């Protein structure tokens, strides 16, 4: 290994994920005292920052939109593992965990990440510019998958309560996965230009011209460390989740808040990466991360949960309540008005952040 790679591995972004995984192994399955919870939280934050760094290295190597796709899929796959693990060990209180976490992920990505990115981009450049064709298609796919998976269970009559019958769950899983794969095909092959970042002048940005691309070895190292960091993020999030549940119960808040907190922790890498891209005038990259993460969160989670239900006992509550459906509908309407012009200012960013604030408030105080 040459001196350049040795120096690369010596950076904190290399050893913090490894240290976080070591802490995860030592604390897995144990009741953590408050000091250990604090240490785990600090390592979780370090792993988040390391994941953002390695995702950007990979993105610089493979280019857009593949870079944002790598981070979105990696985070979602491990998020699915976290949800299934918590459902196995959570008992009756975990019956709605998948719904709460997925819906929280949709609201955080479509309002929080998107709104914050628009706000940062518009403040720095006055107007945030992006491809309406690609972004509009992504939003349409998110709205369709979310409705099929999270809204329809509240209206079907084959099973009591907001749940699908096995056949209906299988259909929703296949439809979600098919639409997600179709979107990936369009994003990476047939209409890739719709997902490439453009400047405020409308010029396509095909790479970071002022930076030398990383070597193949460095990029592969970042792929490995990205996976390690994401495993640490999700694993440590699970480790501190009992403390989160205790705090939520002690505050008298609903169990759904646990899913919100988990989604916030898991989506931190994508949030930071999206905001940094917006600050560099890569607004399309930010929107790729936001809407791509929302789509992956539903399109991969629902099929995985459907398979897991073969051996998991108890009902799976997927249908949203009335308040949640109103927030989802308002998000889709406002999101459509935001992306159709292909240009946005601080007003649109503020509106989406306002919707996120409403979601967080109503989750804690329904």
Question: Could you tell me if residue 241 is inside a domain?
Answer: yes
Dihedral sign from CA coordinates of 96, 99, 103, 105: positive
DSSP conformation letters of 41-89: HHHHHHHHHHHHHHHHHHHHHH-TTHHHHHHHHHHHHHHHHHHHHHHHH
Question: Could you tell me if residue 3 is inside a domain?
Answer: no
Structural domain that includes position 243:
13-364
Q: Provide the pLDDT confidence category of residue 1 given band limits of 50, 70 and 90.
A: very low
pLDDT for 241 beyond 80 = no
Question: What is the CATH number for 44?
Answer: 1.20.1420.30
CA distance 108 to 363: 12
Mark residue 126 as left, alpha or beta (left: phi above 0; alpha: psi -120 to 50; beta: remaining): left
The number of distinct structural domains making up the chain is 1
Q: Provide the pLDDT confidence category of residue 332 given band limits of 50, 70 and 90.
A: very high
Question: Could you tell me if residue 4 is inside a domain?
Answer: no
Question: Could you tell me if residue 92 is inside a domain?
Answer: yes
Q: In sequence order, which ranges of the chain are alpha helices (DSSP H)?
A: 3-10, 12-27, 34-62, 66-90, 97-107, 114-125, 132-146, 166-185, 216-250, 256-266, 268-279, 283-308, 322-339, 346-364
pLDDT at 35: 83
Question: Could you tell me if residue 262 is inside a domain?
Answer: yes
Percent with pLDDT over 90 in the chain: 22
Bond from prior residue into 65 cis (ω within 30 degrees of 0): yes
pLDDT for 247 beyond 90 = no
Task: State the residue for tokens 């929280």.
Answer: 104
Question: Could you tell me if residue 359 is inside a domain?
Answer: yes
pLDDT for 211 beyond 70 = no
Token pair listed for 212 = 């030398």
Reported as a single tens digit per residue, the pLDDT across 160-180 is: 878 898 899 999 999 998 998
pLDDT for 156 beyond 80 = yes
Question: Could you tell me if residue 318 is inside a domain?
Answer: yes
Q: Provide the pLDDT confidence category of residue 253 given band limits of 50, 70 and 90.
A: confident
Taking all residues of the chain, what is their mean pLDDT, rounded to a whole number? Answer: 82
DSSP conformation letters of 184-217: HHIIIIITGGGGS-B-TTS-B--S-TTSPPPPHH
Question: Could you tell me if residue 232 is inside a domain?
Answer: yes
Reported as a single tens digit per residue, the pLDDT across 87-144 is: 766 666 667 888 888 899 899 999 999 999 999 988 888 888 888 888 999 999 999 9
Q: Provide the pLDDT confidence category of residue 329 given band limits of 50, 70 and 90.
A: very high
């Amino acid at each position: 290994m040459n001196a350049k790679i040795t120096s690369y591995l010596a950076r904190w972004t290399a050893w913090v994920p490894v240290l976080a995984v070591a802490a995860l192994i030592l604390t897995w399955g144990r009741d953590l005292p408050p000091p250990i919870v604090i240490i785990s939280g600090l390592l979780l934050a370090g792993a988040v920052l390391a994941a953002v760094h390695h995702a950007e290295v990979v993105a610089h190597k493979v280019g857009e939109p593949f870079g944002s796709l790598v981070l979105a899929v990696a985070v979602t796959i491990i998020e699915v593992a976290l949800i299934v693990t918590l459902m196995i060990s959570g008992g009756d209180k975990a019956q709605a965990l998948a719904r709460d976490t997925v819906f929280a992920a949709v609201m955080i990505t479509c309002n929080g990440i998107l709104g914050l990115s628009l706000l940062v981009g518009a403040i720095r450049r006055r107007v945030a510019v992006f491809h309406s064709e690609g972004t509009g298609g992504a939003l349409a796919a998110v709205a369709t998958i979310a409705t099929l998976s999270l809204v329809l269970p509240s209206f079907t009559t084959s099973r009591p309560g907001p749940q699908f019958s096995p056949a209906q769950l299988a259909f929703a899983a296949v439809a979600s996965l098919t639409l997600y794969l179709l979107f990936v095909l369009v994003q990476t092959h047939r209409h890739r230009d719709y997902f490439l970042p453009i400047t405020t002048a409308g010029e396509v940005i095909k790479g970071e011209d002022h930076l030398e691309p990383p070597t193949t070895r460095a990029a592969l190292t970042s792929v490995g460390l990205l996976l390690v960091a994401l495993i640490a993020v999700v694993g440590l999030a699970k480790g501190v989740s009992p403390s989160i549940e205790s705090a939520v119960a002690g505050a008298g808040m609903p169990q759904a808040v646990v899913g919100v907190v988990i989604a916030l922790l898991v989506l931190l890498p994508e949030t930071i990466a999206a905001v940094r891209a917006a600050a560099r005038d890569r607004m399309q990259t930010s929107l790729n991360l936001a809407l791509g993460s929302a789509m992956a969160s539903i399109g991969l989670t629902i099929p995985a949960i459907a398979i897991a239900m073969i051996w998991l006992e108890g009902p799976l509550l997927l249908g949203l309540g009335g308040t949640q459906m109103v927030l989802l509908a308002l998000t889709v309407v406002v999101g459509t008005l935001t992306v159709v012009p292909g240009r946005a200012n601080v007003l649109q960013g503020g509106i989406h952040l306002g919707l996120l604030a409403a979601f967080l408030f109503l989750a804690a105080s329904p």
